[in-house]
Amino acid sequence: MDALGGRLGLFGRRVAALLADVFLFLALVLPVLFLLGLGPGLRLLLLFLLPPVLLVYCWVRWGATPGKFLLGLRVVDARTGLSPDLPHALRRALGYFLAGTPMYLGFLWTLFDPEQRGWHDHIGGTRVIREPGLEEDPALRLGGGLT
């Protein structure tokens, strides 16, 4: 448990949620981009700009992306336990870029952080918790620590 009383979202579950989000995004957005007949430059620009915009929107609006919902995870403000506000979500999105740049070291940091927080969580002032009532899934427990 974390200081706010929530169960921490561990690395394996978080990675699975991210992969679900990437798959869903590509499955829905790529066909639309090609059907719109946009040039390759504009398609590439949208593929880089749209994900952070959608992430920030989902975190502020619902506290989770579709992948996190699917796996019973929620992004919360590290101090209040509420869904992050826009400034926190924007910093967290910037943190995603910074965490992924040096060979994903900022994401792997979650495995060693006592609060299971990656660089993006620390930068954004957020943490990821498990929603109560979700049954245990040993396959997603990579990362040790508390469930």
What are the DSSP calls for 20-60, one per residue? HHHHHHHHHHHHHHHHTT--HHHHHHHHHHHHHHHHHHHHH
User: What number is the average pLDDT over the span 100-116?
Assistant: 93
Domain annotation covers residue 1? no
Domain annotation covers residue 140? no
Domain annotation covers residue 145? no
- Name the pLDDT band for 112 (thresholds 50, 70, 90): very high
User: What number is the average pLDDT over the span 114-123?
Assistant: 96
Q: Is 137 helix (H, G, I), strand (E, B) or coil?
A: coil
- Name the pLDDT band for 140 (thresholds 50, 70, 90): very low
Domain annotation covers residue 25? yes
Q: Which residue has the higher pLDDT, 2 or 77?
A: 77
Domain annotation covers residue 49? yes
Domains: count for the chain: 1
Domain annotation covers residue 57? yes
Domain annotation covers residue 144? no
Q: Which residue has the higher pLDDT, 26 or 136?
A: 26
Domain span including residue 26: 7-132
- Name the pLDDT band for 33 (thresholds 50, 70, 90): confident
- Name the pLDDT band for 142 (thresholds 50, 70, 90): very low
